[in-house]
Structures are given as structure tokens and as C-alpha cells.
Amino acid sequence: MTAVVVPPVGTVGLPDSAAGDTVAYASYGREDAPAVFVLGGISGHRFVNGDPQGGHGWWPGVVGDGAALDPARYRIVSLDWLGGAGDSSGPAASETSVPIVTTQDQAHAVVRVLDHLEIDQLHGFVGASYGGMVGLALGALYPEKVRRLLVLCAAHRPHPMAVALRVLQRRIVELSTGTGREFEGLALARAVAITTYRTPEEFEQRFATSPNWDEGPPRFAVEDYLEHQGERFTQRFSATAFRILTQSLDLHRVVPEDVLVPTTVMSVDSDTLVPPWLVAELARRLPKSGRAVRITSIFGHDAFLKEHQAVGRLILNVLETEDHNG
């Protein structure tokens, strides 16, 4: 087993970058194993397979011992988002506007990490949600750096309704911050976001509609769930990071014809944020015989987090196809 030459966890400088001065990364597995970069949604972080303090990774069932992305088989690399909640830096906050970080900025950071780790070319890139957008930007800007892309629940541009919902979430955060109630507003914005990640069918199965009257005013089961999700989010995210990354989602644009990497895209039939027809449009326009896979799930946009078996099978199919041509 070959020892890793550079530290498996660390930061790298970003010279001449307006989006941040440093990017934090994590690497798992042998240095000589096929390298796979893994990135998730805006709340994802570099510790995809656990942190040095024993904390869990954010993609259990997909990354880990015996899973599709097994560090015993692949060298798995990830990073913290520029402008996000992790240890990467971001642009200076402005009182008048949200600082700009684009998916192209994140792709430049990916390449800086690869150069630091002396990885000439990735065996594959697996990106879900925001991470899939960054993967498309990487494929357009640096096609020589990656042999194959797998893009889950993401497309070449945002849907206008998704933009509208995120604009309203940022307005909630802005108003609450202006009145000294930043954390309340951030929790509420995140709760609203959760309703866009899931589906009415799942909520129908999970939550009773009859209120609980035990403590005075009527209290609904779904209310408890959304409050919990919002409060948990505020423990690790700031209002500034939320505004930067949700705006980055809305600014995302990649011309599919510029993605010169064999690419597989996965959509979910119940995903309203990134509808299957938009993913199909992306696949049709990809120049390297883009392949579209559509799965059925009750979990909507969050299916990439919940449908471990389907996602794992697809990852293995893409990564194990030697001459992958989409």
C-alpha cells in the first residue's frame, strides 16, 4: 500500500481568485488508486467519508466501506465550497449585495486541489445537485482533467421556478438579518427549502394532518419536522454562506455543447427543482453522446441522498465501464 505523499486533509491557496483565497479538501484511499472527485449539495462538505474527529460523512450508503464509492478501491477526493460553511474561504461580504461565487469558481478550485494532490486526471467525477452543476462546469473548462462525469439531479441551467423559490428564501434571510433575527430567518428559509427537496407524496405518508392540541395552539407533525431541519441547519451555516451558495445555484450556466467529457446524467421523476425534461435537454445537447438515466422515487430532489441502491448501481456502472462513451 502506497503512502499518501501530501496530507489527506488540508487547504490549498487560490492565487488570483476573487471567490476565495483558500480551498479546503479531504482525500481518502491510496494515492495510486483511481481518483474520483465527489461533491454534493450546498450543505455537503469535504468529509464525505467521515472527519478526523470521528464524525460521519454526508453520503452514507453510497460512500464508505463496501459501498459503491469505497475508499479501499478508489481515491475519493472532495472539498468545502468556496463561500460556504466549511473551511474554504469566500469573497468579502457586502452590505448592499450578495458576494458572487460561480460554479466555474468552484471548478477552478477543484483543479487547484487536483494539482496539489498531483492527480493529472480523474478516473471520474460524481456530482449531485450543486455538485453536479460544478461537474458540468469542470467538464466545460477542464475536459482533460476528467475521464467521465456522473451528474445527479442537476442540469446546465436552473429552472425559473427553482430560482423564484430561492429568491424568496434569500429575502427571508435578508429581512430577518436586518431586524436582528438572523438565525430565525435562516432556519425558516431552510425549512422552506426542505419542502422543495421532497414531495407531497412523501409528506402524505410521513405526517398526520390532524393537529396536536396538548399544549395550547394546534401543532402539526410536519411543523416539528421543518423546525428541526431549520434549527439544525443554523448550527453549521451562516446567513452569508446561504445567500452566496443559493445565488450561485441561480447564476449557474453551462453550455452543454462545451462539455467535452463523456457524461451520464440522472434525473428523478418526482424532482420539481430539476425536472426530468430539463435533464433530458442537457443530455441531448451533450457532444460526447450524453446518456440520461431516470429513476422513480418518492423523495424528489433528495433522491440522490435516499435511493442508495439505485444511485450506487449507477455509480458502479459508470466508473467500471472502461471505455465509457456516455
Q: Around Cβ 55, how many Cβ atoms within 10 Å?
A: 10
Q: How far apart are CA 126 and CA 315, in angstroms?
A: 8
Q: Which of 17, 27, 248, 271 is catalytic?
A: 271
Catalytic residue check, 129: yes
Catalytic residue check, 97: no
In angstroms, how far is CA 316 from the centroid of its own chain? Answer: 19
Alpha-carbon radius of gyration of the chain: 19
DSSP 300: G
Residue 300 gets the label, from left (phi > 0), alpha (psi -120 to 50) or beta, of left
Catalytic residue check, 301: yes
Residue 166 gets the label, from left (phi > 0), alpha (psi -120 to 50) or beta, of alpha
C-alpha cell at 104: 466555474
CB 303 within 8 A of CB 279: no
Q: Which of 45, 156, 252, 301 is catalytic?
A: 301
Q: Which of 129, 248, 270, 297 is catalytic?
A: 129
C-alpha cell at 298: 418518492
Q: How far apart are CA 212 and CA 227, in angstroms?
A: 16
Residues noted as catalytic: 129, 271, 301
